[in-house]
Amino acid sequence: MASLYHRARVMTCAGSGADPLGLITDGAVLCEGGRVVWVGPDEDADAASRALDVVVAERVDLGGRLLTPGLVDCHTHAVFAGDRSDEFAMRARGAGYLEIAKAGGGIAATLGPTRAATDADLERLTVDRLVAARATGTTTAEVKSGYDLTIAGEQRLLRVIARAGAQAGVAVVPTLLCHVIPPERKADRDVYVRELAEVLVPAVAAGGLATAVDIYCDDGAFTRDETATVLGAARGAGLAVKAHAGQFSDQGAAELCAELGALSVDHVEQVSDAGIAALAAAGTVAVMLPGACVQLRLPPPPVARLRAAGVPLAVASDLNPGSSYSSSLPLQMWMATTHFAMSVEEAWLGVTRVAARALGLSDRGMLAPGARADLVAWNAEHPAAIPYQYGANLVDRVLVA
Ligand SMILES: [Zn+2]
């Protein structure tokens, strides 16, 4: 039994050349068993269903609305407890990173509440955030651990993430994030890094708790050598790798990640020409996180240089309690186009096809036969309307698989 979504302006995100978004003005999408089986002009839909021997049980008239793949958020920190709105207020009146840290803010401010929260509380908080993300079009979300930082606690967070995804009706990709050295391990950071590489990473791989390992390589987080140790262990354990890199300073993580065949490097406000060339050669995605960049009033990443080198660009929410408490990808698209000077096409591909690539997923982020039937219909006709009417939720309906 199949469903036909028709009378739509279909944007497949599977185009190329002059039409990267793959627009079909009077289009239709045929889905069966949670998968897309056909995409094309509306007038060909009946012939296609006959040729495919598919019985159309349901016809959904979308009244000329834009129909796109479900959005893929390839970078979130959706599992955490606690409230840091006080930090936001401090920042709004001009407080800098150090002043906020001295007042007890920063990542450490989320550790205590997250460690103290029960599984049920963390699960509920994460489900609420994923449900909110879905309401603005997200159908797949990567969720990182990283707000416990103990060996056992990080594994607990990864289990919570998987359960929350199943409840929220969003496909979730759990990632182990080695976020910072926890305050209680500052005196023996070498031992802590060895535990990450020799205990935590193998345990996560053996338990199937995550498919990738992420690490924050920057001032105040992990050094390049520590990053190499942890990501090397991840590759050895058969896990994909990625990094938060270059948010404040360039530690050479882009070159390292490219060498390790990383799926993505995220932030990259600071990256050298050599780093950019290495990312391009390796096909590693650069994930743009405009929410955090704008809120922290950092200079934007070198989008023009990344584009010129041919580095694939994704756009993600970075949903987190410190620097970007929003799960809305349409809002990120507005910031990407307005503050990062990305084109509308780049912003769209950044939250669909390229975002899926940043997660190592080839079955979503576009509408094509075989892809997951993750669809969003919008109360809009043109792709540009979504970032253009920023702050409005133009989602008409969201369909997950
Ligand atoms: Zn992040």
Q: Is residue 348 located within the same domain as residue 386?
A: no
* Distance of CA 223 from the midpoint of ligand 1 (Å): 17
Structure confidence by residue, pLDDT tens digits, 180-236: 999 999 999 999 999 999 999 999 999 999 999 999 999 889 999 999 999 999 999
Task: Please report the pLDDT score of residue 146 as a whole number.
Answer: 98
* Burial class of residue 163 in the structure, from the number of CB atoms within 10 Å of its CB (0-12 exposed, 13-18 middle, 19+ buried): middle
pLDDT score of 391: 93
Cα 353 to middle of ligand 1, angstroms: 20
Whole-number pLDDT of residue 1: 83
Number of structural domains the chain divides into: 2
Q: Contact 228/213 with Cβ under 8 angstroms?
A: no
pLDDT score of 207: 98
Domain shared by 113 and 233, yes or no:
yes
Q: In what order do the strands lie in the sheet with 313-315?
A: 71-73, 138-144, 171-178, 212-217, 240-245, 264-267, 285-288, 313-315
371 with 322, same domain: the answer is no
Q: Are residues 57 and 131 in the same domain?
A: no
> With the C-alpha atoms ordered 391, 392, 394, 396, is the resulting torsion angle positive or negative?
positive
Structure tokens at 248: 């404040």
Q: Which amino acid is at 364?
A: R
Residues 6+ apart with CB under 8 A from 335: 290, 291, 293, 294
- Strand extents, DSSP E, 145-247: 171-178, 212-217, 240-245
Profile the chain (401 residues) by mean pLDDT over runs of 10 residues. 96 94 97 97 97 96 98 98 94 86 86 98 98 98 98 98 95 97 95 98 98 95 97 98 94 95 97 97 98 93 98 98 96 98 98 98 98 98 97 96 88
Residue 198 sits in the same domain as residue 108: yes
Same domain for 127 and 206, yes or no, is yes
* 76 CA to centre of ligand 1 in angstroms: 6
In the reported structure, the alpha carbon of residue 143 is separated from the centroid of ligand 1 by a whole-number distance in angstroms of 10
Distance (angstroms) between ligand 1 centre and the Cα of 77 equals 6
The whole domain housing 12 covers 2-69+366-399
